[in-house]
């Protein structure tokens, strides 16, 4: 599994397409896709959007992540950093940020490579050497 993170509009998707030779049809959008598609997709974009949908629909985030880690071990997951900045007053928004942060930590614990993209420049911040 490969995890790519960075701020909004920093070039994460373009980096993944170019660096890993990914075609558009290999990417599912976590904000919009049917849930079952994440288990077979080569790339899951907007992972944070997928988590937002799961929370709003009261689905088990931990179960989905557990299943994802088991069923799609070679996925490339792209997630926008949302935890930096002011802490929201709204309880749901705080829960959402915490869920995204903890979920990304769980993914990274199982990832072979982790990249951070800023201003279109990717920095490899972890490599297990097993990919």
- Closest listed residue to residue 79, CA positions, set 1, 24, 21: 1
Q: What is the pLDDT of residues 11-45, one digit of tens each?
A: 999 999 999 999 999 999 999 999 999 999 999 99
What pLDDT digit, counting tens, does each position of 61-116 carry? 999 999 999 999 999 999 999 977 778 789 999 999 999 999 999 999 999 999 99
Helix count (H) and strand count (E) of the chain?
Answer: 4, 6
CATH topology of domain 2-127: Rossmann fold (3.40.50)
Q: What is the pTM of this model?
A: 0.94
Show me where the domains of the chain are located. Answer: 2-127
Q: What sign has the CA pseudo-torsion 100, 101, 105, 108?
A: positive
Q: Which pLDDT does position 58 carry in this prediction?
A: 97
Write down the residue that tokens 């557990």 correspond to.
66
């Amino acid at each position: 599994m490969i995890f790519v993170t960075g701020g909004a509009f920093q070039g994460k998707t373009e980096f993944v397409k170019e660096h890993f030779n990914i075609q558009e049809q290999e990417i599912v959008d976590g904000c919009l896709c049917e849930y079952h598609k994440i288990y077979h997709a080569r790339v899951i974009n907007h992972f944070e959007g997928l988590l937002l949908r799961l929370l709003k629909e009261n689905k088990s985030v931990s179960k989905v992540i557990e299943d994802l880690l088991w069923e799609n071990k070679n996925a490339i997951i792209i997630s926008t950093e949302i935890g930096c900045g002011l802490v929201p007053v709204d309880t749901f928004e705080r829960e959402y940020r915490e869920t995204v942060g903890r979920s990304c930590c769980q993914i990274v614990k199982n990832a072979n490579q982790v990249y951070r993209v800023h201003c279109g420049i990717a920095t490899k911040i972890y490599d297990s050497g097993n990919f």
